[in-house]
Amino acid sequence: MISDFRVRFGLDGSWLPASGTSSVMVVSEPLLTNKDLELQPRDGNRYELIKGQLHVSIVPELMHQRTMGDLLFALMCYLDSNPIGEVLATPGVILSDYDGVIPDLVYLSNERRDEVATGTRIYGAPNLVIEILSPGVQNMERDRKVKLRLYESALRVNDAFICLFPCVIRSLPLAVLTRALVLAELG
């Protein structure tokens, strides 16, 4: 299902510098859609689509998973006492035809859940997105730059995006997490 194209110039597929060059090669790259994403193998890798480009990552390391588990537990305990919404681990979030991602955790207020989580995926922006950073240049580039730009453009004005390093989260006070939920709820 190829529905759009992006053109790159240059022998290596990169954009040409403003000054130009003597040799030009035009390369068409298809933009993928979420329909294409559904065709990816179920092999344990994370397949995400950002601006029509496929991003594949392996299963996170144990430190990442422990951090996510600790954070999920803390948030679920808070929400058990304060039923203002729900937190979900690694849900599929569809933001557009060309953007389908798997954040580590999302928070949906009760109202937003009724708007965007009515099927098998979340179709729209959650109140709060949490990405736990994994080591590695490609992971950092994707989470701190590519996904951050996507979330900034997709999330509503009052929504929040939190990026956490695994080595820091274990000492993060619960008050910080609950404050993030309260701010997301007030948004």
Provide the pLDDT confidence category of residue 152 given band limits of 50, 70 and 90: confident
Provide the pLDDT confidence category of residue 181 given band limits of 50, 70 and 90: low
What is the pTM assigned to this prediction? 0.74
Which comes out higher in pLDDT, residue 43 or 141?
43
Question: How much is the mean pLDDT over the chain?
Answer: 76
Phi, psi values for residue 166, rounded to 5°: -55, -35
Across the range 134-158, mean pLDDT stands at: 77
Q: Which two tokens stand for residue 162?
A: 């939190």
Q: Could you give all domains of the chain from N- to C-terminal order, each with its CATH number?
A: 1-31 (no CATH), 62-186 (3.90.1570.10)
Q: How far is CA 96 from CA 113, 114, 153, in A?
A: 17, 18, 11
Provide the pLDDT confidence category of residue 47 given band limits of 50, 70 and 90: very high
Q: Cβ(95)–Cβ(150) under 8 Å? A: yes
Provide the pLDDT confidence category of residue 66 given band limits of 50, 70 and 90: confident
Which comes out higher in pLDDT, residue 49 or 180?
49
The pairing of strands 122-123 and 105-109 is: unpaired
Q: For the chain, first and last CA: distance in Å?
A: 37
